[in-house]
Amino acid sequence: MTEDVGVSRGRLVLRRFRRRRIALFGLVAIVFLVLFAFLGPSLSKWNYSQKDYNAFLQPPSAQHWFGTTQIGADVYAQTLRGLQKSLVIGFLTAIISTGLAAIVGAAAGYYGGWTDRVLMWFVDLLLVLPSFLIIAILSPTFQGKTWLLFVVLLAGFSWMITARIVRGLTLSLKEREFVRAAEFMGVSSRTILFRHLLPNMSSILIIDATINVGGAILAETGLSYFGFGVQPPDVSLGTLIADGTKSALTYPWLFVFCGGLLILTVLAVSLVGDGLRDAVDPNSESSRL
Amino acid sequence: MVKFMARRFLNYLILVIVATSLGYLLAAVSLNPRSNFEGRNPAPPKSSVDAKLDALNLNDETPVLTRFKTWAGGVVHGDFGKSIDNQPVSSEMWRRMGVSLRLLLVGSVLGGFFGIALGTISAIKQYSAVDYGATLGSFVLLAIPVFLLAVLLKVAALNINKWAGTPIFYYTGEFTPGLQGSWWDHTWDRFQHFILPTLSLVLGQIAFYGLYQRNAMLDVLGSDFIRTAQAKGLRRRTAIIRHGLRLALIPMATFFAYEFGLLLTGATFTEKIFGWHGMGEWFIDSVTKNDVNAVATVTMFAAVLVLVAGMMADLAVAILDPRVRSS
Amino acid sequence: MTGLITTSTDGQTSVPAPVLEIADLRVSFPSEAGTVEAVRGLSYAVSAGEVLGIVGESGSGKSVSALAIMGLLPDRARVEGSIRFGGRELAGLGDKALTDIRGSGIAMVFQDPLSALTPVYTVGSQIAEAIRAHHTDTSRAAAADRAVDLLKLVGIPNPAVRAKSFPHEFSGGMRQRVMIAMAIANDPDVILADEPTTALDVTIQAQILEVFHTAQEATGAAIVMITHDLGVVAGFADRVMVMYAGRAVETGTVEDAFYRSRMPYTLGLLGALPRPDLETREPLTPVEGNPPSLVGLPPGCPFAPRCPLKIDVCETVEPPLAPTAVPGHQTACHRSGFLEDGDLKAGDVFPVPAALPPALAGVPREQRPVVLEVTDLVRTYPLTTGSIFRRTIGEVRAVDGISFDVREGETLGLVGESGCGKTTTINEIMSLATPSAGTIKVLGQETGSLDRKQRRKIRRQLGLVFQDPNASLDPRLPIGDILGEGMKAYGVPVAERRSRVSELLTLVGLGPEHVNRYPAEFSGGQRQRIGIARALSLEPRLVVLDEPVSALDVSIRAGVVNLLEDLRARLGLSYVFVAHDLSVVRHIADRVAVMYLGRIVELGTVADVFDAPAHPYTQALLSAVPVPDPRQERARKRILLEGDLPSPSEVPTGCRFRSRCPLYATLLEDHQARCRDDDPVLTPQGPDHTAACHWPEARTVF
């Protein structure tokens, strides 16, 4: 079969992605969540730090849409505040960790030899140490410091598997003839890395970054749940859920909204990632239909 | 083959040693046990605090490497130091290890088995209602962190208990303390305690393995050798099960090694939320209590488990794939 | 094989009732771009003991039609028409009913024997499984024994032991033997062979075709041999069917198709094929254009856009397959009458491009400057063990002391089976590194002694063209960037780069307007032209061509070969042409070096080496090349080599070809001793002809 000339790869991917209704749903959900997190607070008259001393532990009402907490804080404002933080941390962590993975993996794969062995040994080491434990141990050191430090730690312990995948791809790509052609023409190895190797895995990297967003949010909320992550006065979905859990049975509004938004966020992100993977992978069954 | 495994083992062993050392050093630098003693009222004199810390090998004024040497020297002889409550860490460790191992073992075995079964069925019946349901369900389950799932399970159990009028599910501890009755009563009681924590771990595992197995299976389904198997006269389903499944399992072994670290993390939540006194719960409490020796010990436990998982994955790959065996 | 069909005097072939009869088979797939009509009304029949060759280029529908017969197409494929096997209609049968026929009634041999065998089971168990699939009463032990017998039948040495080996422990040729053993395990009536020798070396191809003969003798089955190689068909098939764009365009006896083609496409294929047995310096006749897309095919003859004989009706009415004057010979062409009247050949139909005389045609070889000089080149690789702590346990000599030179304006062909060291040799030249031993001199400069700056300067003088035009162009860069990359690395200013890129595109027969397009927008042949343009971008003196046409379809190949010859003449280039297709080498090269296990065993002018090969390996290699001429091909006697190329880590003592040498077996004991003990060196066989054999004897093999 001759290839259909004229349809660019980008358009093809877009077309395949659009056909996956469930992935589209994920995309719409993400857009909604981001808009909701950042524009939602201005719809309510309550600020996340304000307290309504006339309403302690009130169920959702016209006044307080998601109800109030034990100390009279507005759950709607707090939940959106937490959603903001979790989204920002998730996206930042995913971008940093995927970037790190791309550079380490590609360097290990392309240069080979000792570079490869040292980097991969380091990857193995970090895989033996569950990142959760390490970040928990280190949590006292960033208490009272900026949450960005937490992001760096999260990213620093979540790039290893992606790096391995990138390394594998690099190993096969560097044997490809167009890379060898560039080498024989005297193109420098750094140029080859950034001009030929990384762009040719960009689709995989984008997919991985997307999936890593979900992983990062889960890791963040998990650590925050135990108090090892986002520290007061900052709030995230994790800290909110931790606060709400104790009264999940009696005062469900403290728990349902932040929990529900967390599930929706992670689900939406992974559905988009999965849809992208199917759309990019020309071998996947659905892409041929 | 044996040599290959021996070499892998040596490599893992070095990784475990480095990882444990790193765990100790990080904990020693990051945690501040002095605050536990200083914070008392009335404030004790520095000398008595120092004496207490020195006895526990926790004094931050001793150089960290010296403290590490003392601890590591003990570990070699099976002595993991003292906890901050002046109890031997090792006895606590032995007590708690079984609790965690039970949970982890059941979690990975059940998760792996049902996940692989689900993924295989999904792949064979691609685009059927079963497939869509299983896939979407898996995505939803993977989006629910263990601590949330645990709470949801608790809520559900509570309602079921209320509806049944008698406790069917328990969600605190491993057994009912002081229960009188036959062996059967004890077993049943343990089972009632066991089911929710296990579910909180296993559901995510099933979803994870299910999705990956489905992908691995779909990759294999289009292979030429499946076509060959059909061409020689096997039914499509027979060809898939006999020739495809085994190949699809090979990447799963590697995923098992990766996933085990996450399972370990998940078990921490399960233990903490359902009040099981395992290693995970101990870890959380120890970090909060600045208990350096206990934290380092749990880190080592985790590293060893990841090592064992890695070795098992290597072994599984070698058994499944003759190409690996011969190289 | 021909003995099974009796041809009566009036030309009517009286054949037994066909075992397999296909009528109006249509297969279509839904796709992104629309419905792909892969097979569009195909009809044929084969009888027991008969061999039908189906020839076509990629995308002609030949493999799809075979899979349709087996019912092995993916579910999304729509199959219509009738498939009758032994009088029973197969179309529309379910998986269960078809399962009974697959393997026992109709068996199939696939192209790539590596991916077609399950990697995790032993070959013996896979064959036994085939037996037990149809004979459930056969015990496991009996099936295993029968598997060993079958392995023996297809020529696997030591079958009882090898049955317990896994597919990855076999060579490509051995795997294909296993596939054939599996196919004949249940004594099928029809064997569908889908390009069974395409992935194999020519010497192994000859062995495998022999195995098919054996298999046919054992089973009496009809064989449908699907291939793109007209040479294979010429020697192996009784009847041939040429397919184009999902339909049969010509069908008849092999002689009808080769000597009396009445369809321009068949003529074009034949004209585009270089002959290994003839010294021809004229350009090949290329068939311009590309096969059509099978989505939304316009009315009329699908070949019309490429056909020099097309008339108005060709554009509106698709010609049906219709009889010609010769019974049994059918063509689908409005102009077949015209072709018949004039008995036209390829050269009469397709315009033959005029050849430029080479730049240095008049200058004798000795007086031309040396462009590349390789002396006693050795390349060793350490043989390592272990994955973490690597230990070196020995070394492999991939190239073991070879010497040759290339002079300005000439082409050296480098031939040999895969694994003989061809690729290592050109990698050594291209990387300009210091070899393990020996020297490489490019334009008089020794590569080992170069500093960074000199190396950069020399590197410009070398161009490289790769085998696979799909893999050799970065899919994410526009053509302009791909062609300009080398110049950019050498600091050529942007404006100059841009004008040079247009110049290059024009040079290789594309337009400067293609600058902003991406590789995916070009056909395979066009992509290879871009690859050639890139190799020329820095104005090299020497171009290394690594199998430059082997990934291309026959009709496209000729155009690229002509382009290469034209460029050489116009730009005064020298070529090192690496290929396993000896016909192309004979056509394009001036001199040829035959490699075996890291050594050159014979070196000389093309005419000397092809017409009077002195080394038994060269003789066997050339003898294995099929000639696209049925009468000649059937009259040839093949020299078959035993077994596979030994691993370079287990080189035999003395003469390294000894283990497979047909001559060695016939030698007297004291002569054999010399082969065992002495490593032969290249000795003169003529003015420019050397061979490394103790007992050379020139033979003709065509």
Per-residue pLDDT tens digits for C400-429: 999 999 999 999 999 998 888 898 999 999
Cβ of residue C185 closer than 8 Å to a chain B Cβ: yes
Distance from CA of B173 to the nearest CA of A (A): 17
Among chain C residues, the shortest Cα distance to B323 is held by: C168
Q: Which stretches in chain A have pLDDT values below 70?
A: 1-10, 12, 19, 281-289
Tell me the per-residue pLDDT of C238-280, one tens digit each, with 9 for 90 and over: 999 999 999 999 999 999 999 999 999 999 998 888 888 887 7
Q: Is A18 on the interface with C (CB under 8 A)?
A: no
Q: Residue A209's domain spans which residues?
A: 35-261
- Decide if A274 is inside a domain: no
How many cross-chain Cβ pairs, A to C, lie less than 8 Å apart?
Answer: 92
Domain contains A69: yes
Asked whether the beta carbons of residue C116 and residue B227 sit closer than 8 angstroms, the reply is yes
Between vectors from CA C699 to CA C695 and to CA C701, what angle results, nearest 5°? Answer: 135
* Contact between chains at C103 and B232 (C-beta distance less than 8 A): yes
Phi, psi of C48, rounded to the nearest 5 degrees: -55, 140
* Confidence (pLDDT) at B154: 87
- Counting as low any pLDDT under 50, the low residues of chain B are none
Determine the distance in angstroms separating the CA of A138 from the nearest CA of chain B, rounded to an integer: 6
Contact C292 A9 (CB under 8 A): no
Task: Give contacts of B232 with chain C, Cβ < 8 Å.
Answer: 102-103, 107, 129-130, 133, 182-183, 185-186
In a domain, A194, yes or no: yes
- Which architecture characterizes domain B2-326 according to CATH? Orthogonal Bundle (1.10)
Residue B73 C-alpha, separation from nearest chain A C-alpha, in angstroms: 21
pLDDT tens for B170-208 read 888 888 888 888 888 888 888 888 899 999 999 999 999
- The number of residues making up chain C comes to 702
Closest by Cβ to A185, choosing from C30, C473, C489:
C489
DSSP labels, C395-462: EEEEEEEEEEEEETT-EEEEE--TTSSHHHHHHHHHHTPPPSEEEEEETTEEGGG--HHHHHHHHTTE
Report if residue A272 sits inside a domain. Answer: no
C284-325 pLDDT, tens digit each: 888 888 888 888 888 899 999 999 999 999 999 999 999 988
Tell me: pLDDT of C372 over 60: yes
Closest residue in A to C524 (Cα) is: A2
Q: Which residue of C has its CA nearest to A186?
A: C489
Q: Where are chain B's structural domains?
A: 2-326
Residue C420, strand partner residues: none
Query: Per-residue pLDDT for C185 more than 90?
Result: yes
pTM of the model: 0.85
- % of chain C surpassing 70 pLDDT: 96
Please name the member of B225, B231, B236 whose beta carbon is closest to the beta carbon of C118.
B225
> Hey, what domains does chain C have and what are their CATH numbers?
18-237 (3.40.50.300), 247-349 (no CATH)
**Residue at token pair 């006194």:** B277
Is the Cβ pair B146, A222 closer than 8 Å? yes
Q: What is the pLDDT of residues C481-538, one digit of tens each?
A: 999 999 999 989 999 999 999 999 999 988 888 888 888 888 888 999 999 999 999 9
Chain C nearest-CA residue for A116: C388
- Interface check for B321 against chain C (CB to CB < 8 A): the answer is yes
The answer to the question of residue A47 being in a domain is yes
* Torsional class of C181: left (φ above 0), alpha (ψ -120 to 50), beta (otherwise): alpha
Q: Would you call B218 and A285 a contact, using CB atoms and an 8 Å cutoff?
A: yes
| pLDDT tens-digit map of C17-46 | 899 999 999 999 987 778 899 999 999 999
* Contact A11/C at CB under 8 A: no
Residue A143 belongs to domain with CATH number: 1.10.3720
Q: Note the pLDDT of residue C462.
A: 92
pLDDT of C331: 93
Percent of chain C surpassing pLDDT 90: 58
Neighbours of chain C (3+ CB pairs under 8 A): A, B
Tokens standing for residue C14? 């009286």
Q: What tens digit of pLDDT does each residue of C44-82 get?
A: 999 999 999 999 988 899 999 999 999 999 888 999 999
Q: Residue A129 in contact with residue A137, Cβ under 8 Å?
A: no
Neighboring chains of B (3 or more beta-carbon pairs < 8 A): A, C
pLDDT digits (tens, 9 = 90+) for C156-184: 988 999 999 999 888 888 999 999 999 99
Q: Is the pLDDT of residue C682 over 60?
A: yes
Best to test chain B binding among C63, C67, C73, C118 (most B CBs inside 10 Å):
C118
Contacts with B303 from chain A: Cβ below 8 Å = 128-129
C175 to chain B, closest Cα gap in Å: 13
Beta strand C106-109 with C322-323: parallel, antiparallel or unpaired?
Answer: unpaired
- Residue C145 is predicted with a pLDDT of 94
Please state, in angstroms and rounded to a whole number, the distance separating the CA atoms of residues C85 and C20.
5
Measured between alpha carbons, how far is C600 from C616 in angstroms, rounded to an integer? 13
SS3 state of residue C651: coil
Q: How far apart, in whole angstroms, are the C-alpha atoms of residue C6 and residue C49?
A: 12
pLDDT attached to residue C294: 87
For an interface test with B, the pick among C63, C70, C85, C99 (most B C-beta atoms closer than 10 Å) comes out as: C99
Asked if the C-beta of B269 comes within 8 angstroms of chain A's C-beta atoms, the answer is: yes
Mutation for B interface: A120, A131, A133, most B CBs within 10 A = A133
Which candidate from C115, C116, C133 shows the least CB-CB separation from B233?
Answer: C133
Q: Which of B259, B311, B295, B258 is nearest to B20 (CA)?
A: B295
| Domain-embedded: residue A22 | no
Q: What confidence score (pLDDT) does residue A287 get?
A: 34
If one counts the domains in chain A, the total is 1
How much is the pLDDT for A14?
74
Using left for φ > 0, alpha for ψ between -120 and 50, and beta otherwise, residue A144 falls in: left
All residues of chain A having their beta carbon less than 8 Å from the beta carbon of residue B302 are 129-130, 133
Strands (E), C282-331: 322-323, 330-331
User: Taking CB atoms and an 8 Å limit, are A226 and B19 in contact across chains?
Assistant: no
Lowest-confidence segment of A122-131, B150-159, C114-123, C355-364 by average pLDDT: C355-364
Q: Which of B125, B138, B147, B306 to mutate to test the interface with A (most CBs of A within 10 A)?
A: B147
